[in-house]
Amino acid sequence: MALPFHLVFLLCLTSGLLISGTWSANIERRAGGCNPGWTLLGDRCFIAQHVKKDWVDAFAHCVTLAGHLATIHSRSENDLARELLRQLFGRDVEAWIGLFSGYDRVTEDGWGYYDASKVDFTDWRSGEPNNYGGVEQCVSIRHPSGPGWNDDNCHRHLPYVCGRDQWRL
């Protein structure tokens, strides 16, 4: 199944294929770290979002925060994303991350990140990804039955985790 046009447009916009400087005027730059509310791990910042959105709307909201849906490149980043969600909800919850299938930048077994960064870490739950019903093209960080990633229907409304590189001045 092809991704909707607005997702492809959004991906092109955020990857630099289309130029728009309007969102950058709202960025608060802070030396050597992250904006308030974001958590620094290594040279990357993360923030969990409470409001539930479908994958495309979650991606778009992360862009308004000068980020993107989180790309998870290590166990420590995965653990941090899960911990940020636990702090926000008081329990483990399903939440969108930036991994998805069906775009021409896929890099690992049909899965890729919007920025074409390497898929160098995964935490699939046993039996996943399975594309259940032929409609699971986006990834949630927790499977409904427990720990591990799940390929999921992009139209589900879930909380999400945004990520970005820290500011360097």
Question: Looking at the domain assignment, is residue 138 inside a domain?
Answer: yes
Question: Looking at the domain assignment, is residue 98 inside a domain?
Answer: yes
In angstroms, the first-to-last Cα distance of the chain is: 42
How big is the chain by its Cα radius of gyration, in Å?
15
Number of structural domains found in the chain: 1
pLDDT of residue 27: 41
Q: Is the pLDDT of residue 73 over 50?
A: yes
Residue written as tokens 């199944």? 1
pLDDT in tens, 76-121: 999 999 999 999 999 999 999 999 997 554 445 689 998 888 899 9
**Binning pLDDT at 50, 70 and 90, where does residue 65 land?**
very high
Question: Looking at the domain assignment, is residue 1 inside a domain?
Answer: no
pLDDT of residue 19: 33
Domain with 159 in it: 45-165
146 vs 94: CA distance, rounded Å: 9
* DSSP assigned state of 46: E
119 vs 108: CA distance, rounded Å: 6
Residue with more model confidence, 145 or 119: 119
Q: Which domain CATH number covers 125?
A: 3.10.100.10
Question: Looking at the domain assignment, is residue 64 inside a domain?
Answer: yes
Assess contact for 158 and 94: CB atoms under 8 A.
yes
Question: Looking at the domain assignment, is residue 126 inside a domain?
Answer: yes
Which range is least confidently modeled, 13-17, 20-24, 52-56, 92-96?
Answer: 20-24
Question: Looking at the domain assignment, is residue 7 inside a domain?
Answer: no
pLDDT in tens, 7-18: 444 444 444 433
Question: Looking at the domain assignment, is residue 10 inside a domain?
Answer: no
CA distances from 40 to 91, 93, 132 (A): 21, 21, 35
**Binning pLDDT at 50, 70 and 90, where does residue 168 land?**
low
